[in-house]
């Protein structure tokens, strides 16, 4: 099969479209024939070697990329009973030592998979697993209940967009820090919209006197976003090296998303009932993965880039 692989971290020139062995499913595992897989910022970090440097990925002589899985069940391992061959599924590949999803096939534990949404093509469904599970698990980490306040930085992006929609569903009032181009779209979901990170602490405190109860920092602003948090509030950092220290009695939690097929199935229903919005910016064939990486690296992409094997 064809896979995007990297031998040593670096620029986009380290991306290689190679012939690799088709993986075999083990016990309670499923092989998925990939129809689409998103390109996420984590793939840029993995490609550049930053995950290995940060101790999040073991050193390997060659590794794959791609976390988001959308495709059809192709083969079942011994004891795998939740799906049948041909089922359309989505899932999260969170085992970084296993093969990546920017490939023709991937093998996942069946517990990492969920039935695909029925209302959208698999190309769109590929934008759900990583970003929506991250958003959902990040809100869990805040411990916020209905009526509390949450600052979401990076609200124009993948994780931020789902965070706003899921927080609204839980009755949490959000302040969205997004890009000016998205102000109208964001104000349809968030209680307040801010479009500049300059003096963010004061800007948010003018809207929420005393500061917000929690921050989910999808723009990776660190201490700049922490200034909007009231004393004893919770800060969820998504990129460990940029987590601010806990000060003024705040709690700082570093999130690492994990696969959860059961919860992903619930999120899928929220796509089908219109609660969650999927946004595909561009599609690229695997053979043009370098261009896709360059485009995402430039920033300013509205919606997710999706790779098609
Ligand atoms: N730890 C985990 O489990 C986990 C899981 C998923 C993601 N992540 C990380 O979380 C971060 C967000 O992921 P994502 O997929 O949502 O990324 P994304 O789609 O690129 O979204 C980030 C957004 O932040 C915006 N942004 C950056 N600086 C800003 C600023 N100063 N003011 C306003 N907006 C700003 C970006 O806008 P522009 O594009 O216009 O610059 C972009 O819209 C990434 O660093 C990712 O690696 C961590």
Q: What is the mean pLDDT of residues 147-161?
A: 98
Per-residue model confidence as pLDDT tens digits over 199-250:
999 999 999 999 999 999 999 999 999 999 999 999 999 999 899 999 999 9
| CB-count exposure of residue 212 (10 Å: 0-12, 13-18, 19+) | buried
Residue with tokens 């069940």: 73
pTM: 0.98
pLDDT value at residue 54:
87
Q: Is 257 in the pocket of ligand 1 (CB under 6 A)?
A: yes
Please work out whether the CB of residue 254 comes within 6 Å of at least one atom of ligand 1: no
How many angstroms does the Cα of residue 154 sit away from the middle of ligand 1? 5
Atom of ligand 1 nearest to the CA of 256: 3
The pLDDT of residue 150 is 98
Q: What is the mean pLDDT of the chain?
A: 97
pLDDT for residue 142: 98
Mutate to test the pocket of ligand 1, among 96, 131, 135, 157 (most ligand atoms within 8 A of CB): 157
Is the model's pLDDT at 12 over the cut of 90?
yes
Domains and CATH numbers, the chain: 2-128+278-308 (3.90.180.10), 131-254 (3.90.180.10)
pLDDT at 133: 98
d(CA 11, ligand 1 centre) in Å: 20
Find the mean pLDDT for residues 245-262. 97
**Mean pLDDT calculated for residue range 258-265:** 98
Segment among 2-6, 42-46, 92-96 with least mean pLDDT: 92-96
């Amino acid at each position: 099969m064809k896979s995007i692989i990297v031998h040593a971290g670096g620029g986009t020139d380290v991306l290689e479209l190679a012939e690799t062995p088709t993986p075999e499913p083990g016990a309670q595992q499923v092989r998925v024939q990939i129809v689409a897989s998103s390109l996420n910022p984590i793939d840029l970090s993995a490609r550049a070697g930053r995950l290995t440097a940060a101790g999040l990925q073991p050193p390997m002589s060659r590794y794959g990329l791609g976390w988001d899985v959308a495709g059809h069940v192709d083969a079942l391992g011994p004891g795998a009973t939740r799906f049948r061959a041909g089922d359309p599924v989505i899932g999260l590949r969170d085992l970084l030592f296993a093969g990546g999803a920017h490939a023709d096939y991937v093998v996942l534990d069946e517990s990492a998979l969920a039935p695909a949404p029925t209302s959208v093509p698999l190309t769109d469904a590929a934008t759900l697993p990583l970003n929506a599970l991250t958003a959902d698990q990040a809100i869990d980490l805040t411990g916020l209940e209905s009526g509390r306040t949450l600052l979401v930085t990076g609200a124009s992006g993948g994780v931020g967009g789902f965070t706003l929609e899921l927080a609204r569903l839980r009755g949490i009032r959000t302040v969205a820090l997004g890009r000016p181009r998205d102000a109208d779209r964001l104000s349809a979901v968030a209680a307040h919209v801010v479009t500049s990170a300059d003096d963010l602490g004061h800007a948010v405190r003018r809207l929420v006197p005393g500061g917000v109860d929690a921050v989910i920092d999808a723009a990776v602003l660190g201490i700049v976003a922490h200034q909007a948090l009231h004393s004893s509030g919770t800060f969820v950092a998504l990129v460990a090296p940029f987590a601010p220290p806990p000060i003024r009695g705040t709690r700082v939690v570093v999130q690492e998303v994990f696969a959860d097929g059961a919860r992903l199935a619930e999120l899928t229903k929220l796509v089908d009932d219109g609660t969650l919005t999927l946004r595909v910016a561009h599609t690229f064939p695997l053979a043009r993965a370098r261009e896709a990486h360059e485009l995402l690296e430039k920033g300013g992409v509205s919606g997710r880039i999706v790779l098609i094997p």
